[in-house]
């Protein structure tokens, strides 16, 4: 009768190929399942009318440009600094969800852009964005 040697350590075998197969199968499965999860309405349906429905509208975007010379332009017209709060308030009265985009020239003084941001903050603007260019 042969005795077992308990001091002998066997290294477990890790089989990578079946794991890779399983991962690729899962990847393909999830990719195909997401294709069918997209809701498509290909049927012509006469929907009932309702007063409580909201129409999808794109938000109003107002552009404020600070030129290299420090001039402020609201949309396409040049304005004075003192007129900016009135212009912003007028836009907010038309649509309170207006998005204000600041286009600051690279050579413009930082304090001019900061002054525009301060006017927007005091006017109660909720959506402000600063425009930049992609590095490519």
The full set of domain ranges for the chain reads 61-130
If 0-12 CB within 10 Å is exposed, 13-18 middle and 19+ buried, where does residue 64 land?
A: buried
Model confidence band, residue 27 (pLDDT cutoffs 50, 70, 90) = very high
Residues 83-135 pLDDT 10s: 999 999 999 999 888 999 999 888 888 899 999 999 999 999 999 988 888 77
Residues 6+ away with beta carbon under 8 Å from 105: 65, 66, 67, 68
pLDDT of the residue at 101:
92
Greatest Cα pair distance in the chain: 104
Q: Cβ contacts of residue 92 below 8 Å, gap of 6+? A: 98, 123, 124, 125
| pTM > 0.95 | no
Length of the chain: 136
Tell me what percent of the residues of the chain surpass a pLDDT of 90: 34
pLDDT at 40: 56
Pick the CATH number of 61-130 from 1.10.357.10, 1.10.150.170, 3.30.1280.10, 3.30.420.270: 3.30.420.270
User: Model confidence over 72-86: pLDDT tens digits?
Assistant: 999 888 989 899 999
């Amino acid at each position: 009768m042969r005795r077992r040697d308990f001091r002998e350590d066997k290294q477990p075998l890790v089989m990578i190929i079946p794991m890779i197969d399983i991962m690729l199968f899962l990847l393909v499965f999830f990719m195909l399942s997401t294709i069918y999860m997209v809701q498509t309405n290909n049927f012509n349906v006469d929907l009932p009318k309702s007063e409580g429905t909201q129409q999808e509208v794109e938000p109003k975007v107002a552009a404020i440009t600070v030129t290299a010379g420090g001039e402020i332009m609201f949309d396409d017209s040049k304005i004075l600094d003192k007129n900016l709060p009135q212009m912003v308030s007028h836009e907010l009265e038309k649509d309170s969800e207006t998005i204000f985009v600041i286009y600051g020239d690279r050579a413009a003084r930082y304090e001019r852009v900061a002054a525009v941001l301060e006017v927007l903050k005091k006017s109660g603007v909720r959506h402000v964005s600063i425009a930049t260019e992609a590095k490519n």
